[in-house]
Amino acid sequence: MKIKKFVNERLIAHAKKEAPLEACGYLAGKDGVVTDIYELANIDKSQEHFSFDPQEQFAVLRDSRQKGLTLYAVYHSHPASPARPSAEDIKLAFDPEMIYVIISLVSQAPMIKAFRIKEGEVNEEPWEILNDE
């Protein structure tokens, strides 16, 4: 996954802002590059899982379509665990076309990893930060 540097920074900032709860949202862009972040509320208000507000979710779908963006990824943070999908994350990964991004805040430097999850099989995706231009 290729992501603009400023989006990567906003992703980390959102995770830190919501800690100790999980932060969540969508990453969108064009031509295979993430250029936009949609921060959503975690209506579960949980440290161990998240759920989107359906109204916010539909607003993101509308806005991204109007801007001609593709939704590439669902992201969420793991405030107290590594950047790898939990059993629940794997079970709830319903869209095999979506990339699932996890931001871990366990260590001093946040760790971000991306995954494709299809029928319970997890494969890590490369994470490339591009300079803002």
pLDDT digits (tens, 9 = 90+) for 113-124: 999 999 999 999
Between CA 67 and CA 45 the distance in angstroms is 30
Percent of the chain whose pLDDT exceeds 70: 100
Global pTM reads 0.95
| pLDDT tens sequence across 99-108 | 999 999 999 9
pLDDT at 46: 93
b (16+ CB within 10 A) / e for 8-35: bebbbebbeebeebbbbbbbbbeeeebb
What is the chain's mean pLDDT, rounded?
95
Domain ranges across the chain:
2-130
**What fold, for 2-130?**
Cytidine Deaminase; domain 2 (3.40.140)
pLDDT at 132: 81
